[in-house]
Amino acid sequence: MTRLTVEDLNQADKERFVDILGGVYEESPWVAERAWSERPFSSTEDVRQTMKDVVRNASQKKQLDLLRAHPDLGENIEMTDESEEEQASAGLDRLSAEQYKTFQQLNTTYRDKFGFPFLMSVREESVETIQNAMEERIDRTKSEEFQTALDEVNDIARLRLEELVATDEDERT
């Protein structure tokens, strides 16, 4: 797949821009819609930071909706291609019956406490690392975990954006 350049994004009309970047934030094309008006972008980092700022400046309800748009980790449910690939890279699509049960319990406990799914940038992480993070983060306060979840979502978005848009260094080589 040929990655786009920042210039491609700068020249895209709003519909095309959202079509390209609407999935960077899970099931939340509104982030790309709001970022579009900030063109022209000077770099890939500028695009990333603008989208991150859109999330930061959104209402708490909109941020919560964004968090809730993500699937539970390790669940056998329909999800976006991006989430499927990310979870598969961490082995979450190949959990043993015991691991699956543990993840279901942790997901339920976490969701009941915080009101949104456990979020972690899991690409290339191990099942054990993810499980340990879930167990550790369940003990946090709601405000701490809300911010951590937003940070994780922004990291997931950064990785997705890097797959779609050539970095400035890529463009120089």
Q: Is 130 among the domain residues? A: yes
CATH code for position 108: 1.10.3330.10
Q: Is 143 among the domain residues? A: yes
Residue pair 1/161 in contact (Cβ under 8 Å)? The answer is no
pLDDT at site 167: 78
Number of separate domains in the chain: 1
Compute φ and ψ for 10, nearest 5 degrees. -65, -30
Task: Give the tens place of pLDDT for each residue, 94-113.
Answer: 999 999 999 999 999 999 99
> How many other C-beta atoms are found inside a 10 Å radius of the C-beta of residue 53?
14
Q: Is 1 among the domain residues? A: no
pLDDT at site 75: 83
Q: Which residues contact 95 (CB under 8 A, 6 or more apart)?
A: 74, 103, 127
Is 70 an annotated catalytic residue?
yes
Q: Is 128 among the domain residues? A: yes
Tokens representing 31 are 């982030």
DSSP per-residue string spanning 51-116: HHHHHHHS-HHHHHHHHHTSPPTT--S---HHHHHHHHHTTGGG--HHHHHHHHHHHHHHHHHHSS
Q: Which of 70, 95, 107, 122 is catalytic?
A: 70
pLDDT at site 172: 42
Domain around 74: 6-172
| Pick from 26, 34, 22, 45: nearest CA to 153 | 26
With a cut of 50, list the residues of the chain below it in pLDDT. Answer: 171-173
Rounded Cα–Cα distance for residues 41 and 164 (Å): 15
Q: Is 106 among the domain residues? A: yes
